[in-house]
Amino acid sequence: MEVLHSYIQGSGPDLVILHGFMGMADNWKTLGNAYESAGYRVHLVDQRNHGKSFHHPEFNYQVLVDDLWRYLDHWGIPSTKIIGHSMGGKTAMRAACARPDRIERLLVADIGPKAYPPHHQQIMEAMIALASTPPASRQEAAQSMEKRGLAPGIVQFLLKNLARKPDQTLGWKLNLPVLYQSMENIGAPLEPQMTYPGPTLFLRGSKSTYILDTDRAQITAHFPQAEIADISGAGHWLHAENPQEFLQKSLAFLAQ
C-alpha cells in the first residue's frame, strides 16, 4: 500500500493536519505556514481518494486510520499532535481512541463523535454532472455548478479539486465514484467503547450545527478531558472563515 501524499514544512514537534470530505492538504497551506512559524514540523496530509494521494475502492474510517499509522511509521513519528476537520476529525478521533500513546493532543474541528446522515448529495451530483461533460474552463465549471444551486463559496472550494488531465481536459483530482458510494461511511459514529484519555479540544463554528450543546455529554463520554470552544462568525469551514481566531485558539491548546 502506498504512503499518503503530504506537504511537510518546518522543524520541531510534529503536527499532523487532516482535511475534510472533498477537501485536501492545499486547503490548509496558509494555516500550515502559521503553525510552521510557531515552531512545528507541519504535515499537511491528503487522505486517500483526495488531493494527490492514491485512489482506492475501499473507503471507511478503519482504512483511513490505518493510512495514518502507515504515514507516521514511514516518517519515523512515534507520536504526534493532530488536527482534523470534519471527516479528518473523525479519522483523528478514531486514531486517538485506538492508540492514545501515539496522539499527544487531539484537536477536532467542527465534527462530533455522533452519526451524521449523508448530506452531500447535491454537491456530489453537480460534480458528477461536470465530470460527464468536462468544462472548457474553470469559469465554465463555476457557472455550471452555480446553476445547480451551489453557493459561490462552496463552488470555489470544490474547484480547487479541478486539474488538467494528460489529455488537457479539466477533471477532478478526487476519486468521485468511490466517494459517492461511501457517503454513508463518512457519517458513521464512534463505537460506544471508544475513548481517549488525553487532552482534547473541539472547535466549532458559531454558525455551524455540526456540534450542538446537547452533544456535550456524548463528547465527554468518549473524551473525558474534552473542552469545546466556538469560532465566532464561522460555519462548518471555520478554519477558512475565521483563520485568525482558529489559529489563536488552536495554538493556545497545542502549546499547553
Type of residue at 81: K
Q: Compute the CA torsion angle 87, 31, 206, 233 (nearest 10 deg).
A: -140
pLDDT band at 77 (very low <50, low <70, confident <90, very high): very high
Predicted local distance difference test score (pLDDT) of residue 199: 98
| Fold topology of 6-116+189-254 | Rossmann fold (3.40.50)
State the pLDDT at residue 167: 85
pLDDT (tens digit, 9 = 90+) per residue, 169-201?
899 999 999 999 998 899 999 999 999 999 999
pLDDT of residue 166: 86
pTM of the model: 0.95
Average pLDDT, rounded, for the chain: 95
Residues 21-75: tens digit of each pLDDT: 999 999 999 999 999 999 999 999 999 999 999 999 999 999 999 999 999 999 9
Q: Could you tell me the three cell numbers for 93?
A: 478521533
